[in-house]
Each structure stands twice: as structure tokens, then as C-alpha cells.
């Protein structure tokens, strides 16, 4: 971690990829100030305090009173699965793909024997490095996850956990297949934790977000047929923890969502190999 001096992010263009990562960071920070936080990401709150940015405009745009819970519930389930893996494999290699500005490595407090790699596009990693330094057992890599070269420097003699939150839906299906095959070919064992959108995701994206969502899948169990090494361990809707939402109106809304097929729009998946 770098010093506690303010860091100027005023050059982050509104609507850019880097900006979307700041949006998620802000929502995690906002949720940490809840009287009963689900995620309680104090590292995100510290980061927002350090960053010089127009957070008031961000608050007006993001409507965090509702959106904070989507981000918090998704991250909390992924954190819990990741913590479970670390408890069983204290010498693991962690590949946090599409890490953005997420301080998951700080939230989970992995043992010193873990080797943690945060991977994202070079421009995102450059932004991230304004806040966080590489250190023993932790390293950032600026690369597209679909590029094979970045994996050459990753040790493969320990169990591996891949975490990909809000990432795979932005890749094409062939790229998703190739990435997962590449990982299972290189490592002897491990787990993959990621979320998937339904096939409705790409269709809606063509209408509203210029087609940036490229891949959706109705049931992630289909991926076991892609790769015979993959075995589904667990899956669940992003909003499954809605009972923990302290706001009664928002909790009611999420209860309604979870009572309809909409609950399957964004699903969290845990695979072993």
C-alpha cells in the first residue's frame, strides 16, 4: 500500500473503462458505511478517501442507495468462496482477473505463503498502481486476460484459484472457452469462481450499451461439456443474500426479484478441476 497522500484522478474520463472501475469502487465504499454492511469493504472506503475525484457527481449518477447492494452481495459471495479455498490451500496461487480497483487481496488477508496476481488491462493497472504497490506475495499484471503471454510468469506448482467478477460476459464465448482451457491445462488442480449473465445480457447490451456484453449462458453446467476437467460445485443468484439488506424497501424489491426468473440474469458459479 502506498502513502496516505491524496491521489489526483481528475484525468479519469467520465464513461471510460477506468471510470466504470471507479463506479464499482465507490459503491463498495458507500456500502461500507452502512450500519449493517454486507461486504464492509473498508479498503474501498480508504481508497475513495484518498482519491481526488468528483464523487458528488458519481453519487448522483450511481444512485448508490440501491446499486450498492448488488455490488456488495456479489462480492461477498465471491469473497466467501475465495476465503474457503484459501483456508484449504494456504500455499495457493490466486489469479484475480479483471481486478479493476478491487482490493480483494486486502479484504481477504491471505497468508504470506499465498502468491496473488491482480490482472487487468494495462490502462486499468496503471491507474491502480497510483494507489497500490506491488509487495511480497502480491503483484499486478497489465494485460488482456485473453493474451496467453502473461501466464508464462505464473507459478503452476500450487493449487490455483481464478476469480473473475464482472468479467467473462465481456469476452466472446470462444475467448471464454480458450481462457478456461488454458488455465486447466496449466494447473494441476484448483477452483474457478465467476459470474455469468443469461443469454438476455448480450441482447439487452445491443439495445442499450452498444453491445459491450458479448457472452451469456443459460446454465453454467453446460461448461462441464466444454471441458471434461470442470466440475460445478455451487451456484446461486447474485441477490441470494437480500435478507441482509438493511433498507426495508430495497430488501422488498430484491425479494420480488428473487421470486421471478429475473433472479437468474446474473448467477455466481464455483467450479473445481
The count of other CB atoms within 10 Å of the CB of residue 135 is: 10
Is 82 inside a domain boundary? yes
Is 103 inside a domain boundary? yes
SS3 state of residue 147: coil
- The DSSP call for residue 135 is B
Is 40 inside a domain boundary? no
Is 31 inside a domain boundary? no
Retrieve residue 175's grid coordinates.
475467448
Place of cell 454492511: 37
Is 16 inside a domain boundary? no
- In whole angstroms, what is the distance from residue 28 CA to residue 45 CA? 7
Is 142 inside a domain boundary? yes
Is 42 inside a domain boundary? no
Query: pLDDT tens, position by position, for the chain (273 residues)?
Result: 445 689 999 999 999 999 999 999 999 999 999 999 999 999 999 999 999 999 999 999 998 988 999 999 999 999 999 999 999 999 999 999 999 999 999 999 999 999 999 999 999 999 999 999 999 999 999 999 999 999 999 999 999 999 999 999 999 999 999 999 999 999 999 999 999 999 999 999 999 999 999 999 999 999 999 999 999 999 999 999 999 999 999 999 999 999 999 999 999 999 999
- What is the number of domains present in the chain? 1
Specify the CATH number for the domain of residue 260: 3.40.50.150
| Pick from 118, 82, 77, 76: nearest CA to 100 | 118
Is 52 inside a domain boundary? no
Domain enclosing residue 77, as ranges? 69-272
* H or E, element range at 191: strand 190-197
Amino acid at each position: 500500500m502506498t502513502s496516505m497522500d491524496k491521489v489526483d484522478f481528475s484525468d479519469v474520463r467520465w464513461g471510460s473503462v477506468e471510470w466504470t472501475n471507479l463506479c464499482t469502487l465507490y459503491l463498495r465504499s458507500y456500502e461500507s458505511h452502512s450500519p449493517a454492511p454486507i461486504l464492509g469493504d473498508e479498503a474501498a472506503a480508504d481508497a475513495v478517501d484518498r482519491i481526488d475525484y468528483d464523487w458528488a457527481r458519481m453519487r448522483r449518477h450511481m444512485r448508490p442507495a440501491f446499486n450498492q447492494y448488488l455490488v456488495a452481495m456479489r462480492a461477498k459471495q465471491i469473497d466467501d468462496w475465495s476465503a474457503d479455498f484459501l483456508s484449504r490451500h494456504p500455499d495457493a496461487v490466486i489469479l484475480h482477473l479483471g481486478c479493476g480497483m478491487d482490493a480483494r487481496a486486502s479484504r481477504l488477508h491471505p497468508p504470506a505463503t499465498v502468491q496473488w496476481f491482480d490482472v487487468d488491462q494495462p490502462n486499468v493497472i496503471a491507474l491502480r498502481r497510483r494507489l497500490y504497490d506491488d509487495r511480497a506475495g502480491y503483484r499486478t499484471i497489465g494485460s488482456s486476460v485473453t493474451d496467453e503471454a502473461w501466464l508464462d510468469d505464473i507459478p503452476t506448482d500450487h493449487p490455483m484459484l481464478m476469480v473473475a467478477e464482472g468479467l467473462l460476459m465481456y469476452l466472446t464465448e470462444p475467448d471464454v472457452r480458450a481462457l478456461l482451457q488454458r488455465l486447466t491445462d496449466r494447473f494441476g488442480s484448483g477452483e474457478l469462481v465467476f459470474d455469468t449473465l443469461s443469454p438476455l445480457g448480450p441482447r439487452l447490451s445491443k439495445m442499450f450499451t452498444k453491445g459491450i456484453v458479448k457472452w451469456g449462458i443459460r446454465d453454467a453446467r453446460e461448461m462441464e461439456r466444454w471441458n471434461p476437467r470442470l466440475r460445478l460445485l455451487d451456484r446461486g443468484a447474485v441477490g441470494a443474500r437480500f435478507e441482509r439488506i438493511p433498507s426495508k424497501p430495497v430488501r422488498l424489491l430484491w425479494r420480488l426479484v428473487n421470486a421471478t426468473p429475473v433472479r437468474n440474469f446474473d448467477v455466481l458459479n464455483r467450479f473445481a478441476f
